[in-house]
Amino acid sequence: MKQQIPAATPQKPVEQPKEEVKSKEAKPVAEKITAGHIHLSGCTGCEVAIADNYAGLLTLLDRYVDWVYDLTLADVRHVPKMDVAMVEGSVCIQDKLSVEEIKETREKAKIVVALGGCACYGNITRFARGGQTNQPQHESFLPIGDIIKVDVYIPGCAPTPQMIRNVCVMAYLLLKGNPDQQALAKKYLTPLMQLAERGTEACGCDLMIEVVNQGLCMGCGSCAAACPVRAITHEYGKPNVNREMCIKCGACYAQCPRSFFNFDVINEYQGILDAITGALQ
Amino acid sequence: MGNELGKYTNCVSARSTDKEILKKAQDGGIVTQLFAFALDAGIIDGAIVAGPGDEPWRPRPIVATTREELLAARGTRYNISPNVSLIKEATRSYGLDKVGIVGTPCQMQAIRKGQLYPVGLRDVPDKIALAIGIFCMENFPYQSIVQLVEDHAGQKLESVKKMEIGKGKFWVYTERGAVVQLPLKVTHKYEQPGCHVCLDYVANLADVSTGSVGSPDGWSTVFVRSKSGEDVWSKAIAAGCFETKPIDQVKPGLELVTKLANEKISKNQKTVEERMKFGVGKGLRNPYIKP
Amino acid sequence: MSKVVEISPTTRHEGHSKLVLKVNDEGIVERGDWLSITPVRGIEKLAINKTMDQVPKIASRVCGICPIAHTLAGIEAMEASIRCEIPRDAYLLRVVLQCANRLHSIALHNILTLPDMYIPGTDTKINPFTPEEPVRSVAKRIQRIREIGQTVGEIAGGECIHPSNPRVGGLYKACSERAKNKMYDLAKEGLILAREQEDFMIAVLRNYQNRDWSEVGGKQIPIPKTLGYHNQGYMAVHPVYGSSSLDPCPTWDPERWTDVRPWDWYMGEVEVNLAEPNYPIGGTSPVGTKANPQMEACTGVPLYDGQPVEVGPRARLVKFRNYDEKGTIGQQVARQLEYTDSVYAMINALDEYNPAGKVLADKIPQGEGELGFAANEAPRGTDVHLAKVKDGRVLYYEMLVPTTWNFPTCSRALTGAPWQLAEVVVRGYDPCVSCATHMIVIDEDARVVAQKLIQ
Ligand SMILES: Cc1cc2nc3c(=O)[nH]c(=O)nc-3n(C[C@H](O)[C@H](O)[C@H](O)COP(=O)(O)OP(=O)(O)OC[C@H]3O[C@@H](n4cnc5c(N)ncnc54)[C@H](O)[C@@H]3O)c2cc1C
Ligand code: SF4
Ligand code: SF4
Ligand code: SF4
Ligand code: SF4
């Protein structure tokens, strides 16, 4: 889309996202970050979630992000250099093109975001086992983190427009903000980076293994609310996962307040939410 | 510590002016009254509360959209009601745009995490209109309540009309007028393990939080914390929903709240640290450091 | 002497596909092969022996733009196999969900098409993301229409991308009176916007149709009046929703369907000997590139009555409305005509819907291995799922998705177009490629039929 904006387009004055957290002198930031969407073996649902920021998407593009690559939405055929690459889908290792593309993405992008369950954890492609015409050899699909180093995870199937928006705004602050904004962005993104470090496997079982088995579950119900296939119910206050429904998207564990809970960020929820929504007004 | 009571803009002792609400409310009927008012005033379209469940004293989360449903959920059930499990559904098949929710401090944490990191909560973050937190020292699995009431207190669960934790005791009141008190050292072993890493007593992240501690019997201690909390609270006061007293003029007052909060947090902070060296060269997970 | 040009990957549609085109000296396509190169996740194969409840949830995830069609066709194929009738109110909410998805999908497709079109009366192509007027107002309207569709989808379906509410036997949750009213209000607002957007799009499309040329890669390419014409038939089963083998008179017939492998349909190895570095953006494949559609294609070729057919908006209007405009613009206009149609259908279903009604069948049989199918009219056309369920487990699963039907038809529609406009023709189909990677039934008779057809 960058390519198509007439050269004479006046740059709109950029409004500084209001920082309530530590309101410091805001230095106006004029430069946008560059970002793109890389589509591997996914379903485009992640991309639709990006678009589902509706009018907010237009504001993001006006002020903060130049969307430089996106086969679905734009006319760009080859992966360019960019600040943030949002990768949707897992990698079919029997498909040369996909493997090249993910490696190229790592070389070209400063920050690689695994967008959605397929990129983070394989999601439904964890069930793939090949054997289907016309490419029966397409059998092995890996989350991108098994092939390249990934910086940030956004789990879920589909991921939510609001998570995508938050990460975009935070990436912008991290790369272009003043020192306070950078510090906030880093704090916000840290757990999502830790999720990326934690590994490439997810399942409803994580609630048992990492929460209940660890003596951490307190029965809030967040996991059940988060599950996109209604695989989780609560029986006497604790989660029960129907493993024959679970698609391995990783939303439940990431949503659980006992997977991660960063007081330094969440205690400031009001200021941060105001800042993010303010930035997109 | 210093910040064990969280941020707040106002703290009072209060009770509802509505006799009907007070009849079966746990304390000052703050939760039910505030939701009923917010519903009338159009501040919320409905509220997720702990409604009646399939077994006696076992709560089940429901989306209440009428005063009757709110009233049916009055009173504390000391076992888990996964209220947050309905947070997304409330905005879907129930069609709510402004959701109210009541919950323990950990449930308020879940809500705020869900607003900042809505991994699986699409379009939910901006629909939380009123989150009321209730103070909480610990919670219990349902079976614990069965055993405490039926074994230790020797009462039939069906005949209990109220349970309460206060003044260092677990109280059981029955329909026939019996009052049994159990010392808290009896109840400790029955607590939900997840509560032992909990670092919040007075629902620091709620819009409004409330509990019995600090105020006289039948009254509640109320913290008004956020902008939306202030808004609804001031409107409810203006509408005559509550009688209030300044918190520094009631007994035992904030001092006790602070003391209990401090005790809970220090004890649990220690547990969190001990867990990290639980085994031999291996520890248990600390959610406050990383997933 | 004909030359070969390759556009890979094609852009502004869902998934990965490419075009291999044999063109004459004037650059007119003599034979076009449009094929999917999206890796095959093999949904039909991985479905085997999974539960009938889980498979439609997985099937939904072949495509994030028409997940609703896949969810509903998947679930209804299971219901058809086990012979489970769902309550009326569950059906009505499924219709609402279907319409909501169609509304959002048409609007999304507008964003993908507009960059090929011109602001009427000017030689300026439309960039839907520019902050400048008049485009910005249109972009905002498109996004609001999408928001309306997606929000209704979310209420009726639990989620709008991969709906969670539909299940074998009906739905998990009925919508409350309040939810119904909310959807109704949204539909009313949507109707006004949809009408405005429909008019706007048709004006833009007619303007393109009346132009003599379109600028591509710095050259003025003549637009033939017959852009995108083909002589294939149309297939559609219902103006809005669908049909299944549970219907007294199903409008889709498995007997008329045959499937052919790409081996028998597409070109064999060819070498690119025409390249255009100025083709937007990044140029066509360099001279010397080897292309081999027959080996690379990731989909089968389904035929109806032995021929490729077109599915989608125009097919529905041809079958049910006496619509008859051919070509790419005719197809695009038909899509716009479905804007208001889908809102009216949504409103009608909501009118009839009773929030106090039941949404789950009393009894859900576990199946005896019988073949059932459901054909759903997805935004892009008929989406047929076939299933055999026994003891609650899936023995056989097949998805004949819209874009798979359209691949061979569209390939034929490329003939006669300047190769530089081939992507415009492809985009007319609103292709959705990741879903198109499915398994083909090995039917020896059909293969023979197909081979004869080609020779
Ligand atoms: C597990 C638990 C432990 C508590 N510990 C303390 C304490 O240590 N100190 C203290 O001062 N107060 C504590 N409380 C709070 C206190 O018991 C009252 O709930 C609170 O004062 C509100 O009373 P009310 O009269 O204002 O509310 P009411 O009008 O009676 O309404 C109470 C509301 O709480 C909801 N509710 C009931 N049970 C649960 C549950 N298990 N989970 C979530 N929501 C529920 C109901 O749905 C209802 O809406 C605890 C509450 C719970 C549930
Ligand atoms: S995570 Fe879900 S929405 Fe995203 S590509 Fe995978 S299946 Fe599609
Ligand atoms: S989200 Fe809540 S209920 Fe679910 S596992 Fe975590 S703590 Fe337990
Ligand atoms: S249980 Fe649900 S939320 Fe958790 S990984 Fe499985 S599908 Fe995702
Ligand atoms: S003690 Fe903490 S974890 Fe336990 S129920 Fe209360 S608030 Fe939740």
CATH 3.10.450.750 in chain B, residue ranges: 140-190
φ and ψ of C181, to 5 deg? -65, -40
For the record, the structure tokens of A77 come out as 């055929």
pLDDT classification of C434: cutoffs 50, 70, 90: low
pLDDT number for residue B134: 98
Residue A248 CB neighbour total at 10 angstroms:
24
Q: How confident is the model at residue A77 (pLDDT cuts 50, 70, 90)?
A: low
Please give the pLDDT value at position B111.
98
Contacts of A9 (CB under 8 A, 6+ apart): C130, C131, C132
Which residue stretches of C297-436 are H helix?
A: 313-321, 327-352, 402-413, 422-428
Instruction: Give the pLDDT confidence of B97-133 residue by residue, as tens digits.
Output: 999 999 999 999 999 999 999 999 999 999 999 999 9
DSSP-based three-state secondary structure for B203:
coil
Is pTM beyond 0.90? Reply is: yes
Q: Taking CB atoms and an 8 Å cutoff, what residues of chain A touch C301?
A: none
Q: Which amino acid appears at position A265 of this protein?
A: V
**How many beta carbons lie within 10 A of that of residue B266, not counting itself?**
13
The answer to whether residue B97 neighbours chain C at the CB level (below 8 Å) is yes
Quick one: pLDDT at residue C442? 28
What's the rounded Cα separation, in Å, for the pair B114 and A152? 18
Probe residue for ligand 2, chosen from A115, A118, A121 as the CB with the greatest number of ligand atoms within 8 Å: A118
Q: What is the CATH number of domain B140-190?
A: 3.10.450.750
Q: Which of A54, A58, A92 sits opposite C147 (nearest CB)?
A: A54
C181 and chain B in contact, CB less than 8 A: yes
Instruction: Tell me which residue has its CA closest to atom 4 in ligand 2.
Output: A46
Atom of ligand 4 nearest to the CA of A203: 5
Q: Which ligand 2 atom is the nearest neighbour of the CA of A249?
A: 1
Q: Tell me how far the alpha carbon of residue C326 lies from the centroid of ligand 1, in angstroms.
A: 67
Instruction: Please choose, from the candidates B54, B4, B53, B59, the residue with its C-alpha nearest in 3D space to the C-alpha of residue B26.
Output: B59
C62 at interface of A, judged by CB pairs closer than 8 A: yes
The CA-CA-CA angle for residues B53, B83, B122, to 5°, reads 135
Distance from CA of A179 to the nearest CA of C (A): 30
- The residue of chain A nearest to residue B283, with distances taken between CA atoms, is A214
**Chain position carrying tokens 């030359």:** C3
CA of C391 to the centre of ligand 4 (A): 25
Q: How would DSSP label each residue in B52-111?
A: E-SSTT-EEEEEE-SHHHHHHT-S--SS---GGGGTTGGGTTT--SSEEEEE-HHHHHHH
pLDDT at C280 over 60: yes
Q: What pLDDT does residue A70 have?
A: 78
Give the residue from C101, C66, C112, C6 showing the smallest Cα distance to C432: C66
Average pLDDT score over residue span C82-94: 98
Each residue of C393-419: pLDDT tens digit?
A: 999 999 998 988 998 899 899 999 999
Tokens standing for C373? 């199918």
Q: Which of A63-72, B277-286, C419-428 has the highest mean pLDDT?
A: B277-286
Average pLDDT of the segment spanning C124-137: 91
The Cβ of residue A55 has, within 10 Å, a number of other Cβ atoms equal to 14
Token pair for residue C174? 């009925």
Task: Assign C112 a pLDDT band (cuts: 50, 70, 90).
Answer: confident
Average pLDDT in the C109-126 region?
A: 92
Q: Looking at beta carbons, which residues of chain A come within 8 Å of C39?
A: 41, 92, 94-95, 98, 135, 138, 141
Probe target for ligand 5 pocket from A218, A234, A256, A263, with the most ligand atoms within 8 Å of CB: A218
Which DSSP symbol is given to C115?
A: G
Ligand 2 surroundings by CB, under 6 angstroms: A 42-43, 45-46, 88-89, 116-118, 123-124, 157-158; C 61, 64, 161
Chain B closest CA to A55's CA: distance in Å?
Answer: 14
- The pLDDT confidence band at residue C34, using thresholds 50, 70 and 90, is confident
pLDDT of residue A76: 61
- Contact: B123, C151; criterion CB under 8 Å: yes
CB B223 within 8 A of CB B202: yes
Mean pLDDT of A136-163: 96
Q: Looking at residue C452, what is its pLDDT? A: 30
| C396 CB neighbour count, 10 Å cutoff | 16
Instruction: Tell whether the model's pLDDT for residue C82 goes beyond 70.
Output: yes
Q: Is C196 exposed, middle or buried (0-12, 13-18, 19+ CB in 10 A)?
A: middle
Q: Taking 60 as the threshold, does the pLDDT of residue C256 lie above it? A: yes
Return the structure tokens found at C445: 């008779």
The nearest alpha carbon in chain A to B117 belongs to A163
According to the model, what pLDDT value does residue A30 have?
A: 58
C420/A56 Cα distance (integer angstroms): 34
Q: Give pLDDT tens digits for B159-210.
A: 999 999 999 999 999 999 999 999 999 999 999 999 999 999 999 999 999 9
Per the CB < 8 A criterion, the answer to whether C397 and C385 are in contact is yes
* Any atom of ligand 1 within 6 Å of the Cβ of B83: yes
Confidence of residue C435 (pLDDT cuts 50, 70, 90): low
For domain C3-451, the CATH class is: mainly alpha
Q: What is the pLDDT of residue A73?
A: 64
Q: How many CB atoms lie within 10 A of CB B210?
A: 27
In chain A, where the domains are located: 33-201+261-280
Q: What percent of chain C has pLDDT over 90?
A: 73
Q: Taking 90 as the threshold, does the pLDDT of residue A19 lie above it?
A: no
d(CA A162, CA A167): 9
Class of A33-201+261-280 per CATH?
alpha beta
> Hey, are the CB atoms on C50 and A127 less than 8 Å from each other?
yes
**Model pLDDT for residues C318-359, shown as the tens digit of each residue:** 999 999 999 999 999 999 999 999 999 999 999 999 999 999
Asked if residue A149 has pLDDT above 60, the reply is yes
Mean pLDDT estimate for chain B:
97
| Phi and psi at residue A83, to the nearest 5° | -75, -50
Residue B76: partners with Cβ closer than 8 Å, 6 or more residues away:
B26, B134, B163, B164
Grade residue C271 by pLDDT with cuts at 50, 70 and 90.
very high
Which positions ≥6 away from A219 have C-beta within 8 Å?
Answer: A234, A237, A238, B80, B81, B82, B139, B192, B194
Ligand 5, closest atom to CA B107? 8
Atom of ligand 3 nearest to the CA of A256: 1
The pair phi, psi for residue C133, each rounded to 5°, is -80, 155
Return the ligand number nearest the Cα of A238.
3
Which amino acid appears at position A185 of this protein?
Answer: A
Residue A72 confidence class, pLDDT cut points 50, 70, 90: low
Q: Is A208 left (phi over 0), alpha (psi -120 to 50) or beta?
A: alpha
Q: Which of C155, C184, C350 to mutate to test the interface with B (most CBs of B within 10 A)?
A: C155
Residue C292 banded pLDDT, cuts 50, 70, 90: confident
Check pLDDT > 90 for residue C213: yes
The secondary structure of residue A11, as a DSSP letter, is: P
ipTM at complex level:
0.94
CB contact under 8 A, B95 and C180: yes
Instruction: Provide, rounded to the nearest whole percent, the portion of chain A with pLDDT above 70.
Output: 86
pLDDT of amino acid C448: 30
* Selected residues 145-164 of chain C with any CB under 8 Å from a CB in chain B: 151, 154-155, 158-159
Q: Determine contact: B89 vs chain C, CB below 8 A.
A: yes
Nearest to A57 by CA among C111, C242, B171, B23: C111
pLDDT class for B73, splitting at 50, 70, 90? very high
pLDDT band at A87 (very low <50, low <70, confident <90, very high): very high
Please list every protein residue whose CB sits less than 6 Å from any atom of ligand 3.
Answer: A 207, 211, 217-223, 239, 256, 258; B 82
Query: Model confidence at C309, in pLDDT bands (50, 70, 90)?
Result: very high
Tell if the CB–CB gap between C165 and B123 is shorter than 8 Å: no
- Whole-number pLDDT of residue C366: 98
- Mean pLDDT calculated for residue range A234-238: 97
